[in-house]
Amino acid sequence: MPDLLSNPKFAVAAFIFGFGFLIFVHEMGHFLVAKAVGIRATQFAIGFGHALLSFRKGMGLRIGGTEKAYWEQAAAALAEEGVSLEGLTDHQKTQKINEKADALGLGETEYRLNWMPLGGYVKMLGQEDLDPAAQSDDPRSFNRRPVWARMLVISAGVVMNLIFALIFFIVAFSMGVSFDAPVVGETTPLKPASLTYAAGHEGDPAYRGLRPGDRVTHVNGGPIQDLTEVRIATALGKAGTPVELTVDRAGEPAALTYAVTARADVRQEGMLSAGILPATTLNVWVVPQDSPQADAGVVPGMTLTAVDHRPVADYGAYVQAVNQAGGQQVTLTFRDRETGNEILSPLNPVPAFRTAGLSAGGDTPQVELLGLTPPVEISFVAEGSPAEELGIAAGDLLARVGDRSWPTVEEVFTAASSGNGPLAVSVFRDGETRDLGEATPRSGRLGIGLVRHTQTARIGRVLTTSPLAAANLPDGSRVVAVNDTAVTDWAGLQRSLTATPANASATLAVELNLAGQPVEPATLSLGAEARAALAHAGWEPRLDLGFRPLRIERIAANPWEATTIGFEKSRQFIQQTYITLLRLFQGSVGVKNLRGPVGIVDQGAKIAREGFAYYLFFLALISVNLAVFNFLPFPILDGGHMVFLTYEKLTGKPASPTVQTALSLLALAFLACMFVYITFNDISRLIAG
């Protein structure tokens, strides 16, 4: 099976089967306990709607249901004995039929597979979710059993899901499951992880933001094992409340502490994000065709071993070596691990834009260099998208989107997801600005890929915090020289600024192309603060290839350790699910972040393709979530039934059937609407890729 799971179609089928199995064990819990406390279970069903197949003792396997034939056989036997059902109430008729069917050797339970496999149920005599008034006088009916017995039946499904989640976790961790190592790969510009200062080093650019290679050892004082725990803590933390990350950094004598306050990310549907990306190894995983590395002969399986012939041991050391080169071209050494052959490949770093100022309105951090922001370039246009219909093309620079001139990447995403209707769009193409008209985003997207334009030294916007703000330069101006030295791109601009004389009060002349007007000089003051920002602006070692992720395997040495890890993960994900639901009601997590059966199967199939241990691990997560969801105090769900039973135990009488029916119908309508909405989002995500 592990090899079969690598097949995408088989993985989908395997996960659908696994999802159905979890529903089966949930309902089996209800069923077994109902039998144990003497309740008559008339149906055990997987799925909803009409039966595709059914089985009943004494009647065998049948296409369709057995209920009609069951009733007819018992009624015919009663008629032969001269027993009439005329004049009896429905409950009296049912009791007579059941008694005769028992005497005939027909099974009291119909086991059925229904056509809509999105859930399941156990139907018990005297228990109807949508008709609480449907009571029965049969001593084996649900409503005639004591409250404690009914509570056991209702809670049994949740207990079974938790038991099987624990079993799956134990087996998975006995085999070994890998997670992203708790090491920082990169931090996303403008995100809290790139802006927060280490405690005790506030204002020092050398300690602003987590760095590649930082190892996170504790979250809020508690030790962690993998990066998943960091993501959970930041994504599900209370909005506005910092998460304390303790990190070990190479060259630092003591651990550093960063109090990171995650923010909502419009590109992640409003989820809170700190902007920490997982680390990678230096083992080459993917090399696209026509890339510089492919042209040099680099192939998957090689390892990056040196920068300018100086060995590098990990990704953090690689980033540090590139930064030490100050933006100059470096030579990378890739080694074939089997043959020992080496290939040299040049790399031209691009500015990393690790510093951040404020937007024109003074309210939003922005990627910048001394208050100068790069323009946004269109990297691709999706077929059939609003952008394609408007005539936006790859290579265009965005001169206007909505009410923002020369917007940043973040402002484009915000404008597209705002839901405020059509957006006016202008682009800079072939040396001139063109107004294209208006585009209406679909599902919060224009259908474009965005990158920061660094191939020329064009400035998108000059922030009010920039030393160049007093020059009143128009948006979209282009730097052509620094101190009489020509510059052609942002890398050259950053290198030239960094190489200016060390005098803290020195000024530097910058000539700019004022949108087709004559080139004129402008002055940029380089004080101590600006120089410190330049020194730590950093360089991005961007390669046209992919490295394998840095993973840490959690594998138990013995069954007891596997059980311990299983309990730990069960507790973590129960807590995670409840916090997610709490954030949902608080509004800090959007409904769009929820996944229904379609989304769960899609994600589960992708994870299952990594191997059998991952298949079991994800099934365990789903089992935990099913348990938590079902035990919410919501009518129709198991938790709602427990609320009604608690009320009955405390007051000595059940809640009014009218109230129960009304609440159940409202709950059913709400869940149906949620199901349709979530499924629509799941399918939209699949279509969008």
Class of residue 517 by CB neighbours under 10 A (exposed 0-12, middle 13-18, buried 19+): exposed
Residues 6+ apart with CB under 8 A from 568: none
Give the total number of structural domains in the chain.
2
Domain boundary among 329, 351, 373: 351
Percentage above 70 pLDDT, the chain: 83
pLDDT band of residue 604 (cuts 50, 70, 90) is low
215 pLDDT higher than 90: yes
Q: Are residues 242 and 286 in the same domain?
A: no
Residues forming a β-bridge with 331? 346
Q: Are residues 238 and 321 in the same domain?
A: no
Task: Please give the Cα distance from 322 to 492 (Å, whole number).
Answer: 15
Give tens-digit pLDDT for 82-129. Answer: 888 888 887 788 888 888 888 899 999 999 988 876 667 888 887 765
Return the pLDDT at 342.
92
> Could you tell me if residue 618 is inside a domain?
no
Output the six-digit token pair for 191. 């995100």
Q: Are residues 207 and 263 in the same domain?
A: yes
| pTM for this model (two decimals) | 0.70
> Could you tell me if residue 598 is inside a domain?
no
> Could you tell me if residue 654 is inside a domain?
no
Return the pLDDT at 216.
94
Q: Are residues 315 and 262 in the same domain?
A: no
> Could you tell me if residue 467 is inside a domain?
no
pLDDT band of residue 470 (cuts 50, 70, 90) is confident
8-state DSSP, 500: S
Return the pLDDT at 466.
83
Q: Are residues 219 and 260 in the same domain?
A: yes
534 pLDDT higher than 50: yes
Q: Shortest CA distance to 188 belongs to which of 533, 540, 545, 580?
A: 540
281 pLDDT higher than 90: yes
Give tens-digit pLDDT for 385-430. Answer: 888 899 999 999 999 998 888 988 888 888 887 777 889 999 998 8
pLDDT band of residue 601 (cuts 50, 70, 90) is low
499 pLDDT higher than 90: no
Stronger pLDDT, 282 or 620, i.e. the higher one: 282
Q: Shortest CA distance to 282 belongs to which of 255, 245, 322, 249?
A: 322
602 pLDDT higher than 60: no
263 pLDDT higher than 80: no
Task: Please give the Cα distance from 167 to 569 (Å, whole number).
Answer: 12
Domain boundary among 317, 351, 385: 351
pLDDT band of residue 359 (cuts 50, 70, 90) is very low
Give tens-digit pLDDT for 605-635. Answer: 556 666 788 788 888 888 887 888 888 888 8
Residue 323 identity: N
Choose the weakest-confidence range: 161-165, 345-349, 355-359. Answer: 355-359
- The stretch 356-361 carries a mean pLDDT of 44
> Could you tell me if residue 333 is inside a domain?
yes
Return the pLDDT at 605.
56
Total residue count of the chain as it appears in this document: 689
515 pLDDT higher than 60: no
**Placement of tokens 């009410």 in the chain:** 403
Stronger pLDDT, 571 or 170, i.e. the higher one: 170
51 pLDDT higher than 70: yes
> Could you tell me if residue 313 is inside a domain?
yes
> Could you tell me if residue 149 is inside a domain?
no
Q: Are residues 285 and 315 in the same domain?
A: yes
pLDDT band of residue 596 (cuts 50, 70, 90) is low
Residue 212, domain CATH: 2.30.42.10
Return the pLDDT at 89.
80
588 pLDDT higher than 70: no
246 pLDDT higher than 90: yes
Q: Are residues 195 and 257 in the same domain?
A: yes
- The stretch 29-52 carries a mean pLDDT of 90
Q: Are residues 208 and 273 in the same domain?
A: yes
Q: Are residues 257 and 297 in the same domain?
A: no
Residues 6+ apart with CB under 8 A from 40: 98, 108, 124, 125, 138, 140, 141
Task: Calculate the alpha carbon distances from 441 to 150, 385, 388, 591, 684 in Å.
Answer: 52, 9, 12, 19, 14
Mean of the per-residue pLDDT values of the chain: 82
Return the pLDDT at 331.
93
> Could you tell me if residue 337 is inside a domain?
yes
Q: Are residues 185 and 216 in the same domain?
A: yes
pLDDT band of residue 585 (cuts 50, 70, 90) is low
Domain boundary among 351, 374, 409: 351
Task: Please give the Cα distance from 301 to 309 (Å, whole number).
Answer: 20
Task: Please give the Cα distance from 320 to 213 (Å, whole number).
Answer: 9
Residues of the domain holding 200: 180-278
Q: Are residues 271 and 259 in the same domain?
A: yes
